[in-house]
Structure 1
Amino acid sequence: MRVSRWLADRWVMIVALLVLGYLALPILVVAALSFNRPSSRLSYDFNEFTLDNWRQPCATSDMCDAVVRSVQIGFIATVVATVLGTLMAFALVRHRFRGRSGINVLIFLPMATPELVMGTSLLALFVSAGVPQGFWTIVIAHVMFCVSFVVVTVKARLAGMDRRLEEAAMDLYANEWQTFRRITLPLVLPGIVAAALLAFSLSFDDFIITNFNAGTTVTFPMYVWGAAQRGIPPQVNVIGTAMFAVALLLVGLSSLRGRRARRAALLAGPS
């Protein structure tokens, strides 16, 4: 009877923990395999614990070249998509203009379009325009679908922001720039950071659209796909674990900064 009552009171928490465990399981497997010395290139069983993979993450030079290339593409695409997406989000939330509803619909199209369709469409566009496929066609393609995710993320942050804080600052004779710098930006910054992290993750992880528009350029996902046919080196798990740890750290710092910004905004006055 006591067990039944305990389960009835805590079933939501139990289900949540099970779901979190299910989501974390692949990450834990990758992290564990990053410390594995496989018996062969095609073996994925845990054979022997070792730190050699972490000591020599670039033992396979081609893999590290692909990682650097993916980071470069992701960084450029993230910066461009974050700037454009943030400006579009402010325009769509804060202003009323003709065609606003149509733009909102267009924003969701890249998110709803299958990657296979988008990849082939961009390939046809680049070929018909005579644009050589390579590094920059990948960047252009990634910006196109990353912008939508940035707009949606920043819009949600702006829509949930209390406009009375800005009005209170203006009542205290803060001009528009002071209000934006001291109130609006600190409150919306966690949403912008989250959007940038999402854009970088999508860009770094993309395979289908990249494969259609890469030409001879090899990114990290393309390298992993090719290596899967002859054996994935354990350093791939090292890269994946390290990137997850960095992303987790950045999300934690962004969340902490967001809480501090909300408290500071309640006390901030015009400078």
Structure 2
Amino acid sequence: MKWVRAHLVVLAGLLALAYLVLPNLVVLAFSFNKPVGKFNYEWNEFSTDAWTNPCGVADMCQSLSLSLRIAVLATVGATVLGTMVAFALARYRFRGRSATTAMIFLPMAMPEVVMAASLGTLFLNMRIPFGFTTILIAHIMFCLSFVVTAVKARVMSMDPRLEQAAQDLYATPTQTFLRVTLPLAAPGIAAGALLSFALSFDDFIITQFNSGPTTVTFPMFVWGASQRGIPVQVNVIGTAMFVAAVALTVAGQWLGNRRKATA
């Protein structure tokens, strides 16, 4: 009991981590399953058929490609706009700053279905056809808040004396920004970009309200397929995305440790 009390925090952290990772391990295991019928809920036989032919299901890879394109474009748009907004809110004082901050963080506190319905109503009133463009605009809108939060926290923790030192060494404003400010803010920008990509790729509710009848993203495809039986290839795509996310996280941690070691 004494050992348990001494390591209680570590044990609780490991249990929480196992709780989070376990569903991904189940998805990984069932990506190698060969189900008897349409439903991939019970283990039947080990098979690599789904991995050798991940696009064997009609329209699945098209929806995956669409989700990836939207996620990349939404990430770029939200990251550029969010970084500029974060610098403005963190570095400058202007009229309406508090109201702007509240409006930026409002989508994070607002129920997603409310924002989805509001954007859908806006597009209808503006007579904008639903499809790729409306989904992209909607995704940039809700990803923007997360980028601003991540970048603003990083900018506020930066030491302004480093930029002042660069200016004392006759660096121009552009050189100071590119060689001092931007590298210092890069971790926050990267965190906001990765979060935006994950949120955009994974979103269903906002996409469902603003997609139109013919535009189907990967989450919408999975939702539609679940009514008939989710194919094994969906587990393959989910496993690939999970492995890619873990690889990016490990690579980022390794680069960070390497920089600290060489500093």
What residue ranges of structure 1 are gaps of 5+ in the alignment? Answer: 267-271
Contact 1:190 1:254 in 2 (8 A): no
1:246 and 2:244 are equivalent in the alignment: yes
1:31 Cα deviation (Å)?
1.2
1:75 and 2:77 are equivalent in the alignment: no
Q: Give 1:57's aligned residue.
A: 54
Among residues 147, 150, 153, which one is paired with 2:147 in the alignment?
A: 150
Q: Per the alignment, in what secondary structure is the counterpart of residue 53 of structure 1?
A: helix
1:97 Cα deviation (Å)?
1.3
Among residues 121, 124, 127, which one is paired with 1:127 in the alignment?
A: 124
What residue ranges of structure 2 are gaps of 5+ in the alignment? Answer: none
Q: Structure 1: how far apart are the matches of 2:58 and 2:65?
A: 11
Deviation larger for 164-173 or 180-189: 164-173
Deviation larger for 180-189 or 200-209: 180-189
Deviation larger for 76-85 or 248-257: 248-257
- 1:99-178 aligned at under 5 Å gives the runs 99-178=96-175
Contact 2:72 2:197 in 1 (8 A): yes
Q: Give 1:269's aligned residue.
A: none
What amino acid sits opposite 1:100 in the alignment?
R
- 1:91-106 aligned at under 5 Å gives the runs 91-106=88-103
Q: Give 1:198's aligned residue.
A: 195
Deviation larger for 248-257 or 204-213: 248-257
Q: Structure 2: how far apart are the matches of 1:205 and 1:211?
A: 12
Q: Structure 1: how far apart are the matches of 2:260 and 2:96?
A: 33
Moved over 6 A (4+): none
How high is the TM-score relative to the length of structure 2? 0.93
1:177 Cα deviation (Å)?
2.7
Q: Per the alignment, in what secondary structure is the counterpart of residue 61 of structure 1?
A: coil
1:262 Cα deviation (Å)?
6.5
**Aligned residue pair count:** 262
Q: Deviations over 1:69-120 (max 9, x none)?
A: 1111111111111100011111111111111111110011111111111111
Q: Structure 1: how far apart are the matches of 2:261 and 2:181?
A: 13
Q: Structure 1: how far apart are the matches of 2:244 and 2:107?
A: 27
1:252 Cα deviation (Å)?
2.8
Q: Give 1:41's aligned residue.
A: 38
Contact 1:41 1:232 in 2 (8 A): yes
Q: Deviations over 1:47-77 (max 9, x none)?
A: 2222211111111131111000111111111
